[in-house]
Amino acid sequence: MRKPVIAGNWKMHHAPEDARRFFGAFRPSWSGAQPDILIFPAAISFAAAQAALPDHPRVQLGVQNIHPEPHGAFTGELSAPMARAAGATHALAGHSERRHLFGESDRDAAAKARAAADAGLVPVLCVGETLDERKAGRAGEVIVRQLDAALAVLTPEVDVMIAYEPVWAIGTGETATPSDASGAHGILRRRLAEAWGGERAARVRILYGGSVNPRNAARLLASPDIDGVLVGGASLDPDSFARIAEAARP
Ligand code: 13P
């Protein structure tokens, strides 16, 4: 059985002091099984978040973005080995904001996922269709294309997570229904099974992201195809994120 993951992507929010305050106040109370908790702080707040992290092996930190090269003259960038050395365990690759605001291609996202894996980080490959693609009935085709680019450079031995984040649901207050999200997750898992075999595909955790909040998290997480959530806005407040974490299915 796949263990639920509750992940928070802080994007360009929370300076170091805010990160410290967040962990000072983040006190989820679990009645059942505890999910894995991941936070992706801004790189400049990583060390502060790490210093304030609750002493629990299931609460881990990741980075929001890496450069595919391990080092070099790339002003403003950070590499996967650096993130690993700083204590990160996970790295987002191909977040829709990277794809759509910063022009990253499927190949760029795949290269970053590969670089993360090479450095011992778990890549969290983000995929998702735009509203136009959805309206044109192309959602499945788009997410499979994005996944395929990564599968071309990853091997089944790599520990990887996938986050299905439909672009139209990010920061809009419009959430995919559990059945919409499950449908997309099913498409992704079937594609993984074709590439890596059913047994390996069954172990990959597929998260849903896009306007997840304390009111809709339990409904989404109740679906057996939704292994966790990747939360933006509602992860910034420690109480709201704790309530989402508490909604994880046992
Ligand atoms: P929101 O939860 O703010 O819609 O953001 C989702 C997201 O992009 C997480 O990576």
Share of the chain above pLDDT 70, in %: 97
At 160, list the tokens. Answer: 């990887």
Token pair 């881990």: residue: 60
pTM strictly above 0.85: yes
pLDDT in tens, 176-220: 999 999 999 999 999 999 999 999 999 999 999 999 999 999 999
CA distance 65 to 80: 9
Residue range 160-175: mean pLDDT, rounded? 95
When pLDDT is cut at 50, 70 and 90, the band that residue 29 belongs to is: confident
Cβ 9 under 6 angstroms from ligand 1:
yes
Q: How far is the CA of 173 from the centre of ligand 1 (A)?
A: 10
Is residue 27 over pLDDT 90? no
Nearest-5° angle of CA 225, CA 108, CA 11? 65
Is residue 249 over pLDDT 90? no
Share of the chain above pLDDT 90, in %: 93
Cβ 233 under 6 angstroms from ligand 1:
yes
Cβ 232 under 6 angstroms from ligand 1:
yes
Is residue 81 over pLDDT 70? yes
At 166, list the tokens. Answer: 């439909």
Residue range 152-166: mean pLDDT, rounded? 97
Predicted pLDDT of residue 58: 82
Mean pLDDT (the chain) is 95
Cβ 230 under 6 angstroms from ligand 1:
yes
Is residue 30 over pLDDT 90? no
Token pair 């605001």: residue: 101
Q: How far is the CA of 80 from the centre of ligand 1 (A)?
A: 22
The answer to whether the beta carbons of residues 162 and 125 sit under 8 Å apart is yes
Q: How far is the CA of 197 from the centre of ligand 1 (A)?
A: 30
Q: How far is the CA of 73 from the centre of ligand 1 (A)?
A: 31
Predicted pLDDT of residue 97: 97
Q: Are strands 161-164 and 122-127 parallel, antiparallel or unpaired?
A: parallel
Q: Which of 95, 104, 185, 246 is catalytic?
A: 95
When pLDDT is cut at 50, 70 and 90, the band that residue 53 belongs to is: very high
Is residue 56 over pLDDT 80? no
Residue range 83-97: mean pLDDT, rounded? 98
> Which residue out of 9, 229, 237, 243 has the highest number of ligand 1 atoms within 8 Å of its CB and is therefore the one to mutate?
9
* Annotated catalytic residue 133: no
* Ramachandran sector of residue 239 (left: φ over 0; alpha: ψ -120 to 50; beta: rest): alpha
Among 56-65, 115-124, 212-221, the least confident range:
56-65
Is residue 72 over pLDDT 70? yes
Q: How far is the CA of 10 from the centre of ligand 1 (A)?
A: 9
Return phi, psi of residue 124, to 5°.
-110, 95
Tabulate helix, strand, coil % of the chain (nearest 5). 45, 15, 40
Is residue 45 over pLDDT 70? yes
Nearest to 139 by CA among 98, 103, 170, 185: 185
Ligand 1, atom 7, residue with closest C-alpha: 232
